[in-house]
């Protein structure tokens, strides 16, 4: 039933090197900015992530944002965290999202609320990301809700994604966690932003040793770092990522830091593309979405392949 498959899944199955982008919904009740960003990415990215109250800050919902992206003619990857909903709310939202035409889902635990703008809010974490993946898979493949009750018709048939962080400690455990997610039903992965290519390569070696690259599609996360200032901030204050000193130095020495940032990102993509087992890149241009087309073009990833027969529209 290829018509049920998303464009993203079809491209992976065709063996294409996939490109995805990311849009952070606004802290306002408007979809205008989202549609604008989606138009920027159209023709350069095969799909785009919509974050779910990222960094625990209240924003327009990821599902609503996904609909805006669909209206702009692009394919959304809706993110779903476990922080704000119990299993009843999650399943209800999944039914709603699929009924409106959303086909890609990225399951993640979510940032703790104490770091967001409602630090005293109650969290939920009724299920964790691995349980969430299993729940979505069971809804799709076994046609049952989490309680075991049958879904009598029109089950949500999501293409299930998950995240992996090769830069968190302990390093050796990261691959086991990834394997758990695959066993639970994850079909594709997007990694944390990669700056330390050496460590990423070591992680990919472990992934290949366990044959995980053949069981799921792995997309490497990249980010164009606008300036040396941004790089320094990320190195010091953003946990879970490694920003090498030489990258900061290179940006500092550059006459035009933004042009250098694009150059570095393009080099990273070209390098990553040749690592065995990597099936795509996920470009996270935080606050600099307009640069994505330039990066994709310079990295030699154009034209993006067409997928005849796959509809991208609100149902």
Partner 1 sequence: MRAHGMRQILDYEDDKDPVIQDHPEKSLGHRNSAAMQETGAAAEDVRKNQKGAAVVAYYWCRVCKIKTPATEAKSCDCGVTMCNRCWGEWDFICPLCDSDMS
Q: Summarize as ranges the residues that interact with partner 1 (CB under 8 A).
A: 24, 26-27, 54-55, 57, 114-120, 226, 229-230, 232-234, 237, 286-288
CB 227 within 8 A of CB 257: yes
Report the residue number, 112 or 202, with the smaller CB distance to partner 1: 112
**How near is the Cβ of 120 to partner 1 at its closest, in Å?**
6
Contacts of residue 306, Cβ cutoff 8 Å, sequence gap at least 6: none
Ramachandran angles phi, psi of 209, nearest 5°? -55, -40
In a 10 Å sphere around its CB, with 0-12 CB exposed, 13-18 middle and 19+ buried, how is residue 293 labelled?
middle
**How near is the Cβ of 36 to partner 1 at its closest, in Å?**
15
Report the residue number, 216 or 241, with the smaller CB distance to partner 1: 241
Report the residue number, 118 or 270, with the smaller CB distance to partner 1: 118
* Cα–Cα dist 74/46, whole Å: 8
Judged by DSSP in three states, 26 sits in coil
Strands (E), the chain: 18-23, 47-50, 76-81, 104-108, 159-164, 188-193, 217-222, 278-283
* Cα–Cα dist 151/238, whole Å: 42
**How near is the Cβ of 37 to partner 1 at its closest, in Å?**
13
**How near is the Cβ of 136 to partner 1 at its closest, in Å?**
26
Report the residue number, 115 or 171, with the smaller CB distance to partner 1: 115
Report the residue number, 59 or 213, with the smaller CB distance to partner 1: 59
**How near is the Cβ of 158 to partner 1 at its closest, in Å?**
26
């Amino acid at each position: 039933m290829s018509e049920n498959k998303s464009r993203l899944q079809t491209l992976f199955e065709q063996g294409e090197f996939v490109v995805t982008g990311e849009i952070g919904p606004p802290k306002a009740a408007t979809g205008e900015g989202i549609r604008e960003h989606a138009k920027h990415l159209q023709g350069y990215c095969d799909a785009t992530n919509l974050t779910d109250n990222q960094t625990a800050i209240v924003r327009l919902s990821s599902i609503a944002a996904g609909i805006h992206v669909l209206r702009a003619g692009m394919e959304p990857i809706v993110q779903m965290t476990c922080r704000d909903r119990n299993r009843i709310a999650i399943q209800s939202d999944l039914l709603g999202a699929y009924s409106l035409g959303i086909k890609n889902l990225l399951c993640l635990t979510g940032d703790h609320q104490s770091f967001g703008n409602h630090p005293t809010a109650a969290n939920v974490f009724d299920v964790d990301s691995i349980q969430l993946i299993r729940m979505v898979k069971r809804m799709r493949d076994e046609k049952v809700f989490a309680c075991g009750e049958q879904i009598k018709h029109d089950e949500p048939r999501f293409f299930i994604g998950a995240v992996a962080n090769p830069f968190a400690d302990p390093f050796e455990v990261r691959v086991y966690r990834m394997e758990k997610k695959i066993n639970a039903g994850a079909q594709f992965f997007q990694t944390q932003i990669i700056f330390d290519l050496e460590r990423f390569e070591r992680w990919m070696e472990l992934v290949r040793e366990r044959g995980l690259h053949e069981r799921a599609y792995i997309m490497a996360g990249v980010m164009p770092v606008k300036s040396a200032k941004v790089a320094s901030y990320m190195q010091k204050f953003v946990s879970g990522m490694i920003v090498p000193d030489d990258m900061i130095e290179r940006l500092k020495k550059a006459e035009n830091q933004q042009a250098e940032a694009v150059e570095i990102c393009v080099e990273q993509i070209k390098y990553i593309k040749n690592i065995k087992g990597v099936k795509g890149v996920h470009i996270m241009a935080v606050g600099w979405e307009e640069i994505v087309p330039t990066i994709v073009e310079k990295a030699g990833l154009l034209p993006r392949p067409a997928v005849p027969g796959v509809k991208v529209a609100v149902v």
